[in-house]
Amino acid sequence: MATELALTEVAADVFELRLPIPFEDGLVNVFLFPDGDEADLVDCGMNTDESVDAIHAAVRHVGAKRIRRLVVTHIHPDHYGAAGVFAGPGLADLYLHRLEVPLVYPRYVELEHLVSEVHTYLLVNGVPEDEAQVMSNSQRALSEIVKPAVPAVQLEGAETLEVGRRRLRVEWTPGHSPGHICLYDESDKLLLAGDHMLPELSPNIGLHPQSTPDPLHEYLDGLKRLAGYEPRLILPAHGRPFTEASKRVSALLAHHKRRLEQIAAIASHGERSAWAVALELWGLRDNPYEKRAALQEGLAHLQALAVEGRVKKFVTPTSVRWRG
């Protein structure tokens, strides 16, 4: 591999490897935990040659010969994409939260049902037919950078796992994805935050056919719980390691509170689809992923407002509409 390896020891026996991705801020961080001849890996990047070669090189660099365990925070392509390269029979054991498991097959293997389900979801939420076509088809491109693997262990949350020479507690933090997990080393107050708590980006929290029914409230509850642990160092999947979780959590809570108020105000002007709300708030994005993310994010906030009784949600077989 020609490019230099972006490998840093970010805590004792914890190596961060930065891998290229074509979205978010352009990089995903995965973490290697060496233990003698073996190493454990938290997240594995996309299934591309560049990314996979970098992981092999990093394993050698930390003095290991093979990957023993692969723990995946959630099944988005930048975290789970190369799972099938590194885990499976004769390879590493994959650890994944059990609420992520049912998302894999419809999203990356047999997509036709999900593409049509997403298409319907887009139409009932007010997306015009031509836009809905492009937006639902964009799912197909993602499946190309993902090689699935069957988990050897399905997690529920609260397990203690041996990862490298450390013991990490599984923290189930739904919201960004139904079975998203963080990993916490209590003795060292070290938090591997996945996409749950990022230093600069606000992770996408979306309501969609595969999400839990009220992802925003779940996400905010998870943030408050982790801030309560007062971690010394947070290792995020995007961006640089950071400290002061409570400060970051306060900023994220304020961000979502502001967004809830903005959306409540828009809904108070009369009954609307979520698509109309998203357009009013963010304008029309060019990229189909961003359009979908905006709709899903708008919907997650509308749903939270409906759960709180602040907006009314009206559903028929052909439309979902909201009014403040």
Binding site for Zn ion (CB under 5 A): 76, 78, 195
Sign of CA dihedral 250, 253, 258, 261: negative
In single-letter form, the type of residue at position 81 comes to G
Q: Which is nearer to Zn ion, 29 or 125 (CB)?
A: 29
CB of 142 to Zn ion, least distance (A): 12
Specify whether the CB–CB gap between 307 and 217 falls below 8 A: yes
Residue count (the chain): 324
What distance in Å separates the CA atoms of residue 280 and residue 266, rounded to the nearest whole number?
Answer: 8
**Number of residue whose CB is nearest Zn ion:** 76
Q: Which is nearer to Zn ion, 78 or 297 (CB)?
A: 78
Helix (H, G, I), strand (E, B) or coil at 267: helix
CB of 219 to Zn ion, least distance (A): 12
CB of 308 to Zn ion, least distance (A): 26
Other beta carbons less than 10 A from residue 24's beta carbon: 17
Residue closest to 274 by CA, chosen among 127, 114, 116: 127
Helix (H, G, I), strand (E, B) or coil at 177: coil
Q: Which is nearer to Zn ion, 171 or 195 (CB)?
A: 195
CB of 176 to Zn ion, least distance (A): 5
Q: Which is nearer to Zn ion, 78 or 218 (CB)?
A: 78
Which residue, chain included where needed, has tokens 């139904």? 178
Q: Which is nearer to Zn ion, 170 or 267 (CB)?
A: 170
What distance in Å separates the CA atoms of residue 220 and residue 217, rounded to the nearest whole number?
Answer: 5
Q: Which is nearer to Zn ion, 18 or 272 (CB)?
A: 18
Specify whether the CB–CB gap between 32 and 58 falls below 8 A: yes
CB of 90 to Zn ion, least distance (A): 28
Spatial strand order of the sheet with 166-172 comes to: 160-163, 166-172, 181-185, 190-194, 233-236
CB of 316 to Zn ion, least distance (A): 32
